[in-house]
Amino acid sequence: MTLEDLFELAFNKLTNQHVMLDLLTVDHELGAKILAETGIDVTGFIISIDTYGIRHAIERHGDEKKEATKGQVALNKAAFHSLFLVLSEPESITFDPRKRSPSSTVVETLIFEKQIIDYHYVFKEIRRVKKKGKSNRLVFQTMFITKKRRTF
């Protein structure tokens, strides 16, 4: 399955199927960069994206008028073509531990940034597993594109 196929599946009105696609594995070079910038070792983690994440990103950041008021560029299918470049060759990576609600547990997130004309930000949730046969993952949460650089 390709990213294009996953995108189409995410917006298929006939099904609400959850499908995950593995994009790449954090190699030693990228792992060392992430460790140096965040103090988090994710070498060997699988970087993935799923239909729910794509749908979430488009629903939150796909409206041209709303995004323009925030100084952002609306996401569309073409915007997802930058994912591999942002994730494999980020200019900076930020660690962001946050809670979704006051009673929830902390969600560890890595924010990958790369300037490709505009500034592309991809948020990946760190998921560590202890079950045999399961893989540690960096799972796509959302992404957005801004005209000016943001700090987190």
> pLDDT tens for residues 14-39?
777 889 999 999 999 999 999 999 99
- Condensed to tens digits (0 to 9), the pLDDT of residues 105-144 reads 778 999 999 999 999 999 999 999 888 878 899 999 999 9
Is the pLDDT score of 151 beyond 70? yes
- The answer to whether residue 139 is domain-embedded is yes
Q: Which stretch of 9-13, 45-49, 84-88 has the lowest confidence by average pLDDT? A: 9-13
- The answer to whether residue 66 is domain-embedded is yes
- The answer to whether residue 33 is domain-embedded is yes
- The answer to whether residue 100 is domain-embedded is yes
- Condensed to tens digits (0 to 9), the pLDDT of residues 61-113 reads 999 999 999 999 999 988 998 999 999 999 999 999 876 667 767 789 999 99
Q: Tell me, what's the pLDDT at 68?
A: 93
Q: Tell me, what's the pLDDT at 112?
A: 96
- The answer to whether residue 151 is domain-embedded is no
What is the 3-class SS of the chain, one letter each residue?
A: CCHHHHHHHHCCCCCCCCCEEEEEECCHHHHHHHHHHHCCCCCCCEEEEEHHHHHHHHHHHCCHHHHHHCCEECCCHHHHHHHHHHHHCCCEEEEEEEECCCCCCEEEEEEEEEEECEEEEEEEEEECCCCCCCCCEEEEEEEEEECCCCCC
Overall number of domains in the chain: 1
For residue 40, the enclosing domain spans 3-146
Q: Tell me, what's the pLDDT at 132?
A: 80
- The answer to whether residue 98 is domain-embedded is yes
- The answer to whether residue 152 is domain-embedded is no
